[in-house]
Amino acid sequence: MSRIDRVPLVHASLGEQELAAVAEVFASGWPAGQGPKGKALETQLKERYGAGGAVAVSNCGAALHLAMLALGVKPGDEVIVADYTFPAPAHAVRYVGAVPVFADVRADTGTIDPQAVAELIGPRTVGVIAVDTVGMPADYAQLQTIADRHGLFVVEDAACAVGATYQGREAGALAEVACLSFHGRKGATSGEGGALIAADPAVAEDARLRSSFGIGSIFDQSQIVGLPIPEFTEIGYNFKLSDIAAAILQVQIGRIGELLQRRDAVAARYAELLGDEELLTLPRVPADRTHAWQSYMVTLDRSVDRAKVATDLRAQGIGCGHGTWATHEQPVFETKQKCPTSADLFRRNLAIPMHAELSMDQVEQVAHTLRTAVRTHTGSVRRAA
Ligand SMILES: *Cc1c(COP(=O)(O)O)cnc(C)c1O
């Protein structure tokens, strides 16, 4: 049976400005990828991130796949991946026949633990994919030091982190290659969409070419006088972002500050309302970074029955979810590795409504319902406060 939540877990902020941008694309007659809007979006992203190059692609999974190819990852290579995440990084490693090695995460931030990375490096390790967990940037200073010592690449999976910062720098520019998602559940969206941001223009060029079957922009070719016939010199993919989506994203990128300000206010209110609840641990943002709040995950005390809490919230029309995954526990990866902190967060975290369209009344309603539910479904004997 389907339900419609009164207070949904996520809600994309798409409106009149985005509609107007789409109307322009319809009028132009070029809705496909790598046209004028796609190019304009790539320029906008390149400037925003101060990058060598930016490539607009169909989704973040495609961006991660292209990153592995552009960085020369070969079958049998090992790539260390953050464990506690939507498992796209491990998928990307497998796309190129390489082996994902799962690194446990910090208990306080849920981001990849640099110490775990250092311990997992072996003779076949070629790089690390760090994840900005639901919008919280990882420890790039420590990760880069370790990577430099061993000649490894670092890729930033910033799928959830558009708008976040680390030591004053933008998430999406914290490693030599970063991958962004513009999926409908992220902070800036075109429904589906993604981008690869690279410090080295050659990496961006390689990714752009492979994203269009290896022959470059058909739009550009249509502008040339004469009849040059491009040749296919390698196997590429169709990972292009449509100009329709690019037009939407140009508007969304311009609204990142406004939308993030609203999510920040929601997070601050949750902290005020729930900070004293002993059965919950709220997200804590280290002083050297800011959060993009793709999700707001609370960690339930071990005595609390998460499934029952979720059932209560949903029964009252409040969206919630398990948050994200312990990748190493997913059957497809068939690993014997253990990541105890990731496994623990996978069992105890609960994502509660977080998006820019929430009213403060709704935030108060969520907080009140959650507090009641965790107190009802705790196994430990508690006295009323
Ligand atoms: C959502 C997400 C992805 C996948 O993004 P798509 O654009 O849907 O492919 C990858 N990595 C992380 C960390 C994500 O949260």
Q: Where are the domains of the chain?
A: 16-254, 257-384
Which of 181, 211, 252 is the pocket-test mutation for ligand 1 (most atoms within 8 Å of CB)? Answer: 181
Q: Taking the CA atoms of the chain, what radius of gyration do you get in angstroms?
A: 22
| 112 Cβ below 6 A of ligand 1 | no
User: pLDDT value at position 123?
Assistant: 98
Beta bridge partners of 196: 55, 179
User: pLDDT value at position 385?
Assistant: 44
Which of 81, 94, 160, 327 is the pocket-test mutation for ligand 1 (most atoms within 8 Å of CB)? Answer: 160
User: pLDDT value at position 2?
Assistant: 56
* Spatial distance between the Cα atoms of 268 and 138, rounded to a whole number of angstroms: 21
| 245 Cβ below 6 A of ligand 1 | no
User: pLDDT value at position 225?
Assistant: 86
User: pLDDT value at position 3?
Assistant: 65
Q: How far apart are the first and last CA of the chain?
A: 38
Give 381 Cα–ligand 1 centroid separation in angstroms: 40
User: pLDDT value at position 189?
Assistant: 98
CATH of 257-384, one of 3.40.50.300, 3.30.565.10, 3.40.50.1000, 3.90.1150.10: 3.90.1150.10
Half-sphere exposure of 318 (CA within 13 A, CB side): 23
Say which amino acid occupies 114: P
Backbone angles phi, psi at 283, to 5 degrees: -60, 140
Q: What is the mean pLDDT of each run of 10 residues along the chain (385 residues)?
A: 80 98 97 96 98 98 98 98 98 98 98 98 98 98 98 98 98 98 98 98 97 89 86 92 98 98 98 98 98 98 98 98 98 97 98 98 98 94 51
User: pLDDT value at position 228?
Assistant: 84
Task: Taking each helix axis as running N to C, give the angle between helix 360-376 and helix 256-274, from 0 to 180 degrees, rounded to the nearest 10.
Answer: 40
Atom of ligand 1 at shortest range from CA of 63: 9
User: pLDDT value at position 134?
Assistant: 98
* Spatial distance between the Cα atoms of 67 and 243, rounded to a whole number of angstroms: 22
Atom of ligand 1 at shortest range from CA of 61: 9
Are 165 and 290 in contact by the 8 Å Cβ rule? The answer is yes
User: pLDDT value at position 1?
Assistant: 44
User: pLDDT value at position 170?
Assistant: 98
Q: What is the CATH number of domain 16-254?
A: 3.40.640.10
* Spatial distance between the Cα atoms of 266 and 37, rounded to a whole number of angstroms: 33
User: pLDDT value at position 347?
Assistant: 98
User: What is the enclosing helix (H) or strand (E) of 155?
Assistant: strand 153-157
Same CATH fold assignment for domains 16-254 and 257-384: no
User: pLDDT value at position 65?
Assistant: 98
